[in-house]
Each structure stands twice: as structure tokens, then as C-alpha cells.
Amino acid sequence: MNLWTNPIQVIADWLMQIFTGWGLAETLASVLIDLIGIVFLVVFILILDVMLVWVERKVVARFQDRLGPNRVGPFGLIQPFADIIKLFIKEDITPEGADKVIYNIAPVLSVSSVLILWAIFPLAPVIIGVDLNVGVLYLVAAGALGTLSIIMAGWASNNKFALLGAFRQVAAMISYEIPMIVVLLIPTIFAGSMGMLGISEGQQGFWPWNWYVFLSPLGALIFLISAIAELGRAPFDLSEGESEVVAGFHIEYSGMKFGWFYAGELLHAFTFGGFWAILFFGGYNFFGLEKLGPLVSAAIVLFKAMVGYWVIMWIKYTLMRIRIDHMLAFNWKFLVPLSFVVLMVTALLNTLLRDAPTATFILSMFFSNVIIAGITIEILRRRSRSGREKVEGQASSGVKAT
């Protein structure tokens, strides 16, 4: 074992020797090493979050035919740090009548709900905080903290517009958690494990045919849509309907408190891009390059996470915001039943074809999703035609009556 093959363990052993050499007990030294690892991970994530601000502004500038940040530092790279300084020196305002304790906890809880997700994020087989055997459930449970932070911010702000924005956002988040939880069971079925590391290892192989996106493309698509709704980003950003609810649940926050909400949203989008890659796009597996070492594996999964984050940005800056009744109807009348159908078909075929050749298994899974998609499109087409005929019939009846 060396620094290249297992860097985390080598560094931990080195620190253990130093701390025990100072006379510390091994138990206390182990606790200190864990704390150092947590602090290092949090610092890395927050620095990554700062750079995501630059990436987001550059990408949206290209979509809107602009340049984006380009003055402060080379290519505008130092602009996010200037923005952070500006947020720190801005006046911290607390609304009159606000519940100060809950009001101040909400932005911290918003970021914390994202940071704790990285505890189960497998950068490599030997670079992971903890390999929980219920990692999928942990992913869902941690998302509940984000929901709690939003309702806390809206309620504690003593502002009816903030509360209305919080209610809208929470309604969307709770609704779209249903199809997300359902499709999370699909990688669990394929891998035979609810742990993120087990799901990544279940997609090993030189060729990407073992990636679960080829076994369940509809599952990957439903997870992406549900994740975007969970994030509250366009076209599901009902909390920020400027003509109705101003800026949503964080309207009363200023300075760095608002910055925490914004940072949490960007980091959440990148994190969900990473989990999308882990669950459906092979995780750290990529044409055998992961065998070169854990640092290469970490670079691969971060690159895939950035691609997923770019897709989320692409959708955000392309599609228009939809009405809340349409958004909820789309979930309950379309995504939820579709997710259950995909799950049941996947579970049935996985049981029937468990001992079949790999090619037969992959093709059967893929074409089952194609058939489900075709049937779904045909049902939607017929319903759309029926709705148009109904409207046209009512219009013609009105004309005759006139």
C-alpha cells in the first residue's frame, strides 16, 4: 500500500503515528484524524462550490450570448471570491417580528443538507466517507433536511410572500420525491445493494454496457426530472415566480445568509449530478481508467458530476417556468404512474432473466424501456387528441348557439 493506491489510508496512518508519538491515546488520535478528514472534505466542497458560481455564470452567459465574468482575475476566475467579500460586508438585516433562532438556522441547515450527502459519495473504492448499506435511504433522508430548511426560512421570515414561496417549493419537493424514491430502487435491484459503493461496483467493466442507464434509460430520465424539481430549478422554480411571490422563501435574507442559500442550490445541483452519474452512468468506472488509481477514479466521477450539472444548467436556462398546477399534475398523473410501471417491469424481467446471458439481459431491459416509452407516447397522443376534439366541439357548439 502506497500513497497512489490508497492515499486516505496512508495519510491516516501517518497522522496516527504523529499523534501517538505526541503521547495521545489511539482512540483520541482516531477521533482527531476523523475530524481532520471531515474538515478537509468540507473545505474541498466549499471551494468547489465557489468555482461552481463561476461555471454557472459562464455557462448562462454563453446561452444568452454574453461573456460572463471576465475582469476580476484571468477569465474572471477571482470574481466569485469578490462576490463573497461583498456578501460578507453587506448589512445583515433581520425582519421585524421574525423568529430569530429559526431564521438564522435555516440557511445553515440548507447547506448542511447537501454537505452530509458527500459522506456516502464514492469518489473511488478507497475514497468514501462511509459505505452505508442503506445509502439510497440516506440520500432520501438527507434531502428531507433541505425541505425543512425551506419551510423554516419561509415561516420564520414573518413575510407572507416568503411563506407562500416556501409552501410552493415544499409542495413540489415532497411530490417529486415519490418518483425519485421509486426509481432509486432500480439501481438497487440491478446491484443487489442499497450502498452507493455497491451500486458503483455493480457497473464495473471496460465497456459501458453495464451502466444502468442502458438497462433503464427511463429510470435515469425520471431521476433527472425529479432531481431538478427537488432542487427547485427551472422549469420547476415556482418559489421564484417574480410576478407573484417575489424571490420566494429567501426574500427576507440578505448578505451571506442569502449567499448560503445560493451556494446550497449550486452545490445541490452538482451533487445530484454526481449521484446521477453514480446511480446510472457507472460512477468512477470509465473504460478501465479507474484501475490506474483512486485519484484517477475521483477525477472520473467528478467529471461525470460536472457533465450532469451542465445538463441541469442546460435545462434551467432553456425551458420556461411552468404553472404549479401543471407541475403537480405532471408529477402525480404522469411521472408517478410511469415510475411504478418501469419499476415493476424492471423487477419482473430481472427475476425472469437473472440467469440469461449478459447480452440478452441488457437488450431485454433496454427494449422493455423502449416499449414502455412508446406506449406512454401513444397514450399521451390519444389524450391530447381527445382533449383537442373536446375543446373544438365546445367551440363549435358555442358558435351555433350564437
**Whose grid coordinates read 468514501?**
128
Q: Are 290 and 310 members of one domain?
A: yes
User: What stretches of 64-78 show up as alpha helix (H) in DSSP?
Assistant: none
Q: Is 35 part of any domain?
A: yes
In a domain, 380, yes or no: yes
* Domain edge (last residue) among 89, 110, 140: 89
Q: Is 400 a domain residue?
A: no
Cα–Cα distance, 142 to 157 (Å, whole number): 23
**Residue 56 shares a structural domain with residue 141:** no
pTM score of the predicted model = 0.92
Same domain, 73 and 202: no
Query: How many domains in the chain?
Result: 2
Instruction: Count Cα atoms within 13 angstroms, Cβ side, for 349.
Output: 21
Task: Name the H helices within 323-357.
Answer: 324-330, 336-352
One domain, residues 198 and 225: yes
Q: Is residue 301 part of a domain?
A: yes
Contact 270, 306 (CB under 8 A): yes
Give the domain-ending residue among 89, 117, 137: 89
104 with 85, same domain: the answer is: no
Q: Let me know whether 345 and 231 are in one domain.
A: yes
Closest Cα partner for 97 from 37, 40, 157, 41?
157
Same-domain status, 107 and 77: no
At 221, list the grid cell.
Answer: 430520465
Three cell numbers, residue 212: 444502468
Residues 44 and 129 in one domain: no
Residue 363 lies in a domain: yes
Give me 327's grid cell.
Answer: 407541475
Residues 75 and 178 in one domain: no
Is position 171 within any domain?
yes
Residue 390 forms part of a structural domain:
no
Instruction: Enumerate helices (H) and strands (E) in the chain, giving the number of each.
Output: 15, 0
Task: Please check whether residue 335 is in contact with residue 179, taking contact to mean a CB–CB distance below 8 angstroms.
Answer: yes
- Residue 72 shares a structural domain with residue 194: no
Q: Rg (Cα) of the chain, in Å, rounded?
A: 24
Task: Answer whether residue 402 is part of any domain.
Answer: no
Residues 6 and 111 in one domain: no
For the CA atoms of 312, 313, 317, 322, the dihedral, rounded to the nearest 10 degrees, stands at 30
Backbone angles phi, psi at 331, to 5 degrees: -75, -55
- Is 200 in the same domain as 349? yes
pLDDT tens, the chain, 402 aa long: 677 888 888 999 999 999 999 988 889 999 999 999 999 999 999 999 999 999 999 998 988 888 888 888 888 999 999 998 998 898 888 888 889 999 999 999 999 999 999 999 999 998 998 888 889 999 988 888 888 899 999 999 988 888 888 888 888 888 999 999 999 999 999 999 999 999 999 998 878 888 999 999 999 999 999 999 888 887 888 766 656 556 778 888 988 898 899 888 889 999 999 999 999 999 999 988 988 889 999 999 999 999 999 999 999 888 888 888 888 899 999 999 999 999 999 999 999 998 889 899 999 999 999 999 999 999 999 988 888 888 877 767 765 555
User: What is the residue range of 373's domain?
Assistant: 99-384
